Chains A and B, each alone.
Chain A
Amino acid sequence: MTAAIREKALAYGESTPLSGVLTLPAGPLHPERPLVVFLNAGLLHHVGPNRLHVTLARALAAAGHASCRFDLAGVGDSPSRGDGLPIPDGVVADITATLDHLEASLGVRRFVLFGLCAGADNALATATDPRVVGCVLLDPSIHRTRGWYRHYYAARARRLESWKSVLTGRHPAWKRLTDRAARALSPAPVACDAPTADAPPEYFRSGPITPEAIGARWRAALERHVRFFVVFTLDWSVFYSYRDQLHDCYPDLSFAGTTLHHRPTTRHTFTTEADRDWLITSVIQWLADLDAAPAQEAP
């Protein structure tokens, strides 16, 4: 860690104790410069997959940005909640409690929420908080469009390996067919099917995610002029298969202030150093642009 960077373990929260780590750049904090809050990627604790949040937090601090990574109640180092809130409400309450704590203790008034996978959904759900000025969303929930089918199957048809797997019986479609046949023939009902790429399991995320519900979250945030940095990766190609799918999914929304990246060779958890370096550089640049952008009042 660079000597000038400071890190501090945090314990806060009134109804439910929460744990986190604050990473501070050298020198005094600028209250108008957004502080980045890393949200849990699913049920993984606050360091993130392959230590992604720690690596990013320290790189951001070296570039002058403070950040906090914390665990929602019941995840990582934070104990289960004691206030009886259901998960969707509890997730938003914990993120809000974290912003409250950081505002009260550091005087910071502007925040960027950073989320991967379920964390991205949770960030979008909390983007209505007036202190949230931006969100970094890596592989958020998205629904398929007609264009998705066209691009996805065209890409698969171009791959020789797909044809080989169909002919040799290794293609996932064969397994789905045989599983379906086995279920149809089974006298006992199947209580809980194993998750597949077509039906991802429930994550620790903030509520129902119908297309309408997600669209409403985008609309609410975009109307507040929240800025977005959005990435869709290789492992999300089963949901997102071409660059402008987000626009096609919500044609009545304007994503003018959104930086959108489709990275069809990047893994979901940014496993290569090259992809992590790209993410760090891109997020730092996006934060600099966010700093420079004039504040816009919500209508």
Chain B
Amino acid sequence: MSAIPIRLGPAARRLYAVHHPAAGRGRGGLALLVCNPWGAEALRAHRSLRVLADSMARSRWHVMRFDYHGTGDSSGGLCDGSVDGWVSDIRAAAAELRALSGASRVVLAGLRLGASLAALAAADDPRTGGLVLWDPVASGAAWLEDLMGPEATTLPGTLEVDGLPMTAALRAQLATITPERLAAGARGRVLVLSSTPSPGQPALRRALAARVPSLDWRQVEAPPAWVEQGFFGPGPVAAPVIQTIAEWGAR
């Protein structure tokens, strides 16, 4: 069945989403919400996340992709993003997905910063059915240091990365992302996919293992979907990671 573009949420925070209905009957009251990375990483990874959504829908998962406020096709300007706001967007999209699919619980699957936001959104929400964390940003501070590469332009109060501004307020919120904070919210089945080493991942693994005895942590050899391939283009489709998630979802 074709994916269906929709808009959800109140007028002041109208989110663009795409629902991928399950092929056949849904899976035991569970649905899957895909949480985007930020900025150019989201643009480059769009294709991989669409392929992931299509693949899971074929495996009888109801799936939804969406854009946070101030990103993609959702409402809001380039400087309107905040960590708390994006976490509330995940919860709003999960509620819409539950309503559309009839599922009682939603597995949150995120890539890079999207994985971190998914872990934060899972905290204190019993309707979270599990987490799929794909190369999560485990340390917000280290990630910000990475972003401050030669291509970043610092304007008064604003860091501009690949043409997208990141305000001082947003940077301060991102800096509070730590492995311990992400692990604190983990619930349900947790799958972590690590294809590219990044700062904080070992600490995240220890923190998650202490909280989730059945933690499924996989090293997967795959190209980074969020890194530009070629000339101003999207990233590669990380087929091995998508395959691993699909197999995990089929269990």
List A residues at the B interface (Cβ < 8 Å): 1, 3, 7-11, 17, 19, 21, 41-47, 49-52, 54-55, 76-77, 79, 117, 195, 200-201, 235, 267-273, 276
Contact = CB atoms under 8 A, between A and B. Distances in A.
A55 B40 CA distance: 15
A268 to B, nearest CB: 6
Contacts of A117: 232
A273 to B, nearest CB: 7
Contacts of A7: 7, 14, 16, 73, 75
Contacts of A269: 162-163, 232
Contacts of B153: 272
Contacts of B99: none
Contact of B232 (A8, A9, A268): A268
B231 A201 contact: yes
Interface stretch (B43-51, B117-125, B127-135, B206-214): B43-51
A1 B78 contact: no
Interface residues of B, number: 36
Interface in B42-86: 43, 46-47, 50, 54, 67, 71-73, 75-78
Nearest to B4: A11
Interface string B214-231: 000000000000000011
A201 B230 contact: yes
A76 B3 CA distance: 12
Counting chain A CB atoms within 10 Å of each CB, the highest count among B6, B72, B77, B231 belongs to B231
Nearest to B67: A47
A221 B19 CA distance: 39
B18 interface: yes
B43 to A, nearest CB: 6
Given A42-B232, A195-B230, A51 B71 contact: yes
Contact of A19 (B11, B18, B71): B18
Contacts of B71: 51
25 contacts: A7-B14, A9-B16, A21-B73, A42-B232, A42-B233, A43-B233, A44-B43, A44-B232, A47-B43, A47-B67, A47-B72, A49-B43, A49-B163, A50-B40, A50-B43, A50-B163, A51-B78, A54-B72, A54-B73, A76-B46, A79-B2, A200-B231, A201-B230, A270-B163, A272-B153
A159 B64 CA distance: 51
Given A7-B7, A17-B2, A50-B40, A273 B231 contact: no
A74 to B, nearest CB: 10
A55 to B, nearest CB: 7
Given A51-B72, A269-B163, A45 B16 contact: no
Q: Return the 3 tightest CB-CB contacts between A and B, nearest first.
A: A50-B163, A271-B163, A9-B5
Contacts of B50: 76-77
Contacts of B231: 42, 195, 200-201
B95 to A, nearest CB: 18
B37 interface: no
Interface in B1-44: 2-7, 11, 14, 16, 18, 40, 43
B114 interface: no
B234 interface: yes
B180 interface: no
A79 B14 CA distance: 24
A115 to B, nearest CB: 14
B110 interface: no
B165 interface: yes
Nearest to B50: A77
A25 to B, nearest CB: 16
B160 interface: yes
Contacts of B2: 11, 17, 79
B246 interface: no
Contacts of A201: 230-231, 233
Contacts of A8: 7
Contacts of A43: 47, 233-234
A100 B90 CA distance: 36
A150 B244 CA distance: 54
Contacts of B92: none
Counting chain B CB atoms within 10 Å of each CB, the highest count among A42, A54, A195 belongs to A54
Contacts of B230: 195, 201
Contacts of B232: 41-42, 44, 49, 117, 235, 268-269
A195 B229 CA distance: 10
